Amino acid sequence: MKKIVILHSDVSPDAGLDELDCLRQAESIADALRKLKYEPVLLPFELNLNNTITLLQSLKPSAVFNIVETLDAKGSLIYFAPALLDALQIPYTGCSTEAIFQTSNKPLAKNILRNHGIATPDWIEQDGRAFLREAAGQCIIKSSWEHASIGLDENSLVPYGDQASLLNEIQTRKGKLGGNCYAEAYVDGREFNVALISDKAGARVLPIAEMLFQDYAPDKLKIVDYKAKWDEDSFEYNNTVRRFDFPEEDSGLISSLRDISLLCWHIFSLRGYARVDFRVDQQGNPWVLEINTNPCLSPDAGFAAALNQAKIDYHEAVGLILDNAFG
């Protein structure tokens, strides 16, 4: 059997739920690989790169299934894993080093999107650079690098009074958000996730999901924050649900989301699988929030739900993703 190393984040026992989920993904992928008659080996990607290199070289895998999300608990180092695999000339799943760097640095990705004519909400970076086309109203302060809704909660929404006060607020929240952060104009409206997977025919858009905020009070912020993703006992987790069925009047919007997602795929030269997150404003205009080149592959997460809607078995999807690594 071909040996496949599942390279995952080196997660400490006291890590948060978002990081521990990487281990759940690794076990699920390992089960899928066994069904496909591969020999999976789980390997943490350590900050001691020499040790990681030694282990990879001793294992001699046919390919690496890369699900590294952090290094030393820092999302800003996510691209180290594919960069190292490039240097070792070991085939790996998912996107290239360049694509992972560009999309994981969310302000950089937004700049690239805007330069290609794709709508993304206005934003202000922590160094004061402002990318504003109109007067900002309310802003959400986000981490520039960390994913999994790290640091997002009801207090993330702040009014835009003036740029100086907003920059001060950004600096105040850096610790909670894990380092560099930025303020993004809040789009009041609907939220959609578009999962993509590629096969020999190219990129395929899976059934599109809308996140519904059930029983939310009118004044409660409707975003998929950290609680909604990870705190199973919270109101947010139990009242944020996805749907895949849409009325006929949404057909034009769904078509636009599909087309924009495929355009994002080609702009960033994505490979294997990815997810594009959108907000749609009250006038029906879609705005790209971010592109995730390493979306969660846990069986109970959104990507797996989209696979299920497309009637693609989980292990079959893992096989498609792995096939891309072999070219």
Q: For 157, which DSSP code?
A: E
Query: Roughly what angle, to the nearest 10 degrees, separates helices 314-326 and 302-309?
Result: 100
d(CA 154, CA 113): 27
Residues 253 and 276 sit within 8 Å (Cβ to Cβ): no
Mean pLDDT, rounded, for 254-283: 97
pLDDT, residue 136, reads 66
Task: Choose among 110, 104, 257, 111: nearest CA to 191.
Answer: 257
Q: What is the share, in percent, of the chain residues with pLDDT greater than 70?
A: 98
Which CATH architecture does the domain made up of 3-93 adopt?
3-Layer(aba) Sandwich (3.40)
Higher pLDDT, 229 or 78: 78
Structure-token pair, residue 81: 């894993």
Q: Which one-letter amino acid corresponds to residue 78?
A: I
pLDDT, residue 272, reads 96
Residues 211 and 195 sit within 8 Å (Cβ to Cβ): no
Q: For 112, which DSSP code?
A: H
- Sorted by where each begins, the domain ranges of the chain are 3-93, 122-185, 188-326
Residues 71 and 11 sit within 8 Å (Cβ to Cβ): no
pLDDT, residue 174, reads 81
Mean pLDDT, rounded, for 228-251: 92
Mean pLDDT, the chain, whole residue set: 92
Is residue 313 over pLDDT 90? yes
d(CA 277, CA 282): 17
Length of the chain: 327
Helix (H, G, I), strand (E, B) or coil at 90: coil
Query: Roughly what angle, to the nearest 10 degrees, separates helices 314-326 and 17-35?
Result: 80
Is residue 264 over pLDDT 90? yes
For residue range 166-223, what is the model confidence (pLDDT) as tens digits? 888 888 888 777 788 999 999 999 999 999 999 888 999 999 999 999 999 888 888 8
d(CA 124, CA 162): 11
For residue range 10-51, what is the model confidence (pLDDT) as tens digits? 988 777 777 788 999 999 999 999 999 999 999 999 999 999
Q: Match 């640091």 to its residue by tokens.
A: 151
Q: Please give the full DSSP string across 207-241, using - where no structure is assigned.
A: PPEEEEETT--TTS--S--HHHHH-TTSHHHHHEE
pTM of the model: 0.93
Q: For 79, which DSSP code?
A: T
Q: Which one-letter amino acid corresponds to residue 221?
A: L
pLDDT, residue 302, reads 93
pLDDT, residue 80, reads 97
CA-derived radius of gyration, the chain: 19
pLDDT, residue 165, reads 85
**162, exposed or middle or buried, with CB in 10 Å at 0-12, 13-18, 19+?**
exposed
Give residue 279's pLDDT band: very low, low, confident or very high (50, 70, 90): very high
d(CA 261, CA 273): 12
b or e along 65-74 (b: 16 or more beta carbons within 10 Å of the residue's beta carbon)? bbbbbbbebe
pLDDT, residue 113, reads 98
pLDDT, residue 149, reads 67
Mean pLDDT, rounded, for 95-118: 96
For residue range 113-168, what is the model confidence (pLDDT) as tens digits? 999 999 999 999 989 888 888 766 889 999 898 775 677 888 788 888 778 888 88
Q: For the domain bounded by 188-326, which CATH number is listed?
A: 3.30.470.20
pLDDT, residue 155, reads 79
**234, exposed or middle or buried, with CB in 10 Å at 0-12, 13-18, 19+?**
middle
Lowest mean pLDDT among 78-87, 94-103, 128-137: 128-137
Q: For 47, which DSSP code?
A: S
pLDDT, residue 1, reads 85
